[in-house]
């Protein structure tokens, strides 16, 4: 009697704890991580808003004034205030992550993380001031 | 093909993230909040047009729009993977995320060139 090895469709499955879609609400560091990742939405939104502004600029003065008027509506103001929070969260977390993503060595010595973070803030404040100056001058 | 594009996508992610971190807060504060609330007066249409007429301004605006778009697309793609656990929909997610960024980039180029 020759018996062929008999295979079944049932393969033993290792036990895996099922993970809920809401795993990131279980602990604050996880929540912070997901909130940081979700800043992609306000960032994308503001890039598209800028694109919309450029389009209005191309279409002429009436379209540009309509664009400005639309941003004054309560719905846009609310959305923009919330999204501004998201953009700030992105900026601050980004400044604090750069020394982890990019290690800078000067003559073999690693620049301290705090120094790179400090440079980020200096650059940020400087650029912001420059943009406001250009904007005010028109 | 996605695999060979990965280094480029990560480069766009970090370049766009840096642009968004350094420049978006002030632009958003001025355009989205300060001007609509009347804290700052919006410059006249003509002066904005003059400013945007300069090639450097247009290059600046192009960078300001397209790099953060790719940053957001890349980050949102991985948020969908981790947050909703839908990695099996890769092709759809990748097409929608980078497709939006690509269309936005082309639109930005088109509008900025027609400002000439």
- Work out the average pLDDT over A68-87: 95
The whole-number average pLDDT for the span B35-42 is 90
What's the whole-number mean pLDDT along residues B75-92? 81
How do residues A25-48 score in pLDDT, each as one tens digit? 888 988 898 899 999 999 999 999
Of the two residues B87 and A31, the one the predictor is more confident about is A31
| Range in A3-12, A26-35, A94-103, B103-112 with the lowest mean pLDDT | A3-12
Greater confidence (A13 vs A102) lies with A102
Q: What is the pLDDT of residue A103?
A: 77
Nearest CA in chain B to A46: B28
Task: Name every chain B residue with its beta carbon within 8 A of the beta carbon of A61.
Answer: 45
Q: What is the pLDDT of residue A1?
A: 52
- Over range B13-39, report the average pLDDT: 94
Q: Between chains, do A55 and B83 touch, taking CB under 8 Å as contact?
A: no
Measured distance CA(A79)–CA(A55) in Å, rounded:
21
pLDDT digits (tens, 9 = 90+) for A112-129: 888 889 999 999 999 999
Catalogue the long-range contacts made by A46-49 (C-beta closer than 8 Å, 24 or more residues apart).
A46/A83, A46/A87, A46/B20, A46/B24, A46/B27, A46/B28, A46/B32, A46/B68, A47/B20, A47/B64, A47/B65, A47/B66, A47/B68, A47/B69, A47/B72, A47/B104, A48/B69, A48/B104, A49/B31, A49/B32
Which chain A residues touch B65 with a CB distance below 8 Å? 47, 50-51, 54
pLDDT at residue A89 is higher than 90: yes
**How far apart (Å, rounded) are the C-alpha atoms in residues B72 and B13?**
7
ipTM of the complex in this document = 0.92
pLDDT value at B91 more than 90: no
Pairs of residues, one from chain A and one from chain B, whose beta carbons lie less than 8 Å apart: 163
DSSP code, position B32: I
Q: Which residues partner with A110 through β-bridges? A: A105
| Weakest mean pLDDT among A72-86, A95-109, B13-27, B36-50 | A95-109
Residue spans per domain, chain A: 19-84
Of A9-18, A68-77, B87-96, B103-112, the range with the lowest mean pLDDT is A9-18
B2-18+44-113 fold: 3 helical TM bundles of succinate and fumarate reductases (1.20.1300)
Q: Please report the pLDDT score of residue A138 as a whole number.
A: 59
**Has residue B29 got a pLDDT over 90?**
yes
Helices (H) and strands (E) in chain B, counts: 4, 0
Task: Indicate the angle between helix axes B45-53 and A61-71, nearest 10 degrees.
Answer: 110
Q: Residue A28's CB: how many other CB atoms inside 10 A?
A: 8
When scoring A51, A78, A99 by the number of chain B Cβ atoms within 10 A, the one with the most, hence best to mutate, is A51
- Asked whether the beta carbons of residue A90 and residue B72 sit closer than 8 angstroms, the reply is no
Interface of B with A in 29-68 (CB under 8 A): 29-33, 35-37, 40, 42-45, 47-52, 61, 64-66, 68
CATH architecture of A19-84: Up-down Bundle (1.20)
Going by C-alpha positions, the residue among A45, A79, A95, A51 that lies closest to residue B72 is A45
Listed range (A104-118, B66-80, B101-115) with the worst mean pLDDT: A104-118
- Chain B within 8 Å of A30 (Cβ-Cβ)? no
Q: How far apart are CA B25 and CA B46, in angstroms?
A: 25
Contact A46 B29 (CB under 8 A): no
pLDDT at A70: 95
């Amino acid at each position: 009697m020759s018996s062929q090895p008999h295979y079944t469709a049932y393969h033993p499955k290792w036990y895996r704890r099922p993970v809920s879609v809401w795993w990131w609400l279980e602990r604050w560091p996880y929540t912070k991580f997901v909130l940081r990742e979700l800043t992609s939405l306000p960032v994308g939104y503001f890039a598209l808003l800028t694109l919309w502004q450029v389009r209005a600029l191309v279409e002429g003065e009436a379209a540009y004034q309509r664009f400005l008027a639309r941003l004054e509506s309560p719905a846009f103001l609310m959305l923009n205030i919330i999204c501004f929070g998201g953009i700030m969260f992105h900026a601050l977390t980004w400044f604090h992550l750069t020394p982890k993503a990019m290690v800078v060595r000067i003559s073999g010595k690693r620049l301290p993380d705090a120094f790179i973070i400090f440079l980020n803030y200096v650059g940020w404040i400087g650029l912001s001031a420059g943009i406001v100056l250009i904007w005010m001058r028109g | 093909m996605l695999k060979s594009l990965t280094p480029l996508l990560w480069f766009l992610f970090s370049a766009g993230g840096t642009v968004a971190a350094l420049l978006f807060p002030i632009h958003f504060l001025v355009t989205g909040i300060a001007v609509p609330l009347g804290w700052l007066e919006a410059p006249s249409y003509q002066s904005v047009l003059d400013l945007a007429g300069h090639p450097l301004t247009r290059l600046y605006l192009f960078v300001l729009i397209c790099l953060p778009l790719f940053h957001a697309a890349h980050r949102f793609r991985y948020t969908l993977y981790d947050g909703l656990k839908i990695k099996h929909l890769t092709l759809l997610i990748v097409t929608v995320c980078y497709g939006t960024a690509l269309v936005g980039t082309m639109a930005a180029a088109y509008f900025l060139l027609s400002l000439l």
